[in-house]
């Protein structure tokens, strides 16, 4: 099983939505027995909490099932997962600090976005509904390309 962990700050907006979209695409492509995604946050702010209601709303609007409880990113995750995917440069730095080194399987989400490539997935927490819509679009594009990258790399299709 190829395991992918999406990581943001609070684990209630960006990374649980990335997890949900990615798992949706895995199911659509019949890859459920080969790839699985989970998510975590570098902070301890929302451990055990459900995703932000605005995240649930944008997921449901797009027919994406979202079920997650907040967990904090820990060093052990670098041993458990094959791909670590940070939502922004600050999350990435926090992950490197927690792990104590920079694994070669640590990526930044928008490396896989063909629009705005390499930038951050903006944190929508303190903004309005348009931020959640934009987050959805970025994550949908990036998840599709990340999954294609994994499919090619592991000869899954």
Of the pair 25, 54, the CB lying nearest ligand 4NP is at 54
Active site residue 123: yes
Tell me if 87 sits within 8 A of 18, measured CB to CB.
yes
Question: DSSP 3-state helix, strand, coil percentages of the chain (rounded to 5)?
Answer: 45, 15, 45
Question: How far is CA 25 from each of CA 17, 50, 82, 155, rounded to the nearest angstrom?
Answer: 12, 21, 18, 17
C-alpha distances (whole Å) from 11 to each of 67, 72, 141 are: 12, 8, 20
**Nearest CB to ligand 4NP, comparing residues 31 and 140:** 140
* Residue that is written with structure tokens 């995917």 in the block: 85
The site that binds ligand 4NP (CB under 6 A) totals a number of residues, namely 11
**Does residue 45 touch ligand 4NP according to CB under 6 A?**
yes
Nearer to ligand 4NP (CB atom), residue 4 or residue 8: 8
Is residue 82 annotated as a catalytic residue, yes or no?
no
Q: Which residues contact 119 (CB under 8 A, 6 or more apart)?
A: 110, 113
Give the Cα separation of 88 and 85 in Å (integer): 9
Q: Mask of contacts with ligand 4NP, 49-88, x by CB under 6 A?
A: ----------------------------------------
Q: Which of 4, 5, 11, 120 binds ligand 4NP (CB under 6 A)?
A: 11
Which of 13, 35, 66, 78 forms a contact with ligand 4NP (CB under 6 A)?
13
Task: Please give the C-alpha separations between residue 75 and each of 42, 82, 85, in angstroms, as whole numbers.
Answer: 11, 13, 14
Binding ligand 4NP (rule: CB under 6 A), the pick from 14, 24, 54, 92 is 14
Catalytic residues: 8, 14, 123
Residues that bind ligand 4NP (CB under 6 A): 8-14, 41, 45, 123, 125
């Amino acid at each position: 099983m190829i395991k992918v962990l999406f990581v943001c700050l609070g684990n209630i907006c960006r990374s649980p939505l990335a997890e949900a979209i990615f798992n949706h695409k895995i199911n659509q492509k019949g890859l459920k027995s080969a790839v699985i995604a989970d998510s975590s946050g570098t902070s301890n702010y929302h451990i055990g909490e459900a995703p932000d209601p605005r995240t649930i709303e944008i997921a449901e609007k797009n027919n994406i099932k979202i079920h997650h409880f907040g967990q904090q990113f820990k060093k052990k995750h670098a041993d458990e997962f094959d791909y670590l995917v940070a939502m922004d440069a600050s999350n990435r730095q926090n992950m490197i600090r927690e792990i104590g080194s920079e694994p070669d399987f640590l990526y930044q989400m928008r490396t896989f976005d063909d629009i705005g490539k390499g930038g951050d997935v903006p944190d929508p927490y303190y903004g309005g509904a348009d931020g959640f819509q934009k987050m959805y679009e970025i994550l949908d594009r990036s998840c599709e390309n990340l999954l294609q990258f994994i499919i090619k790399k592991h000869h899954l299709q």
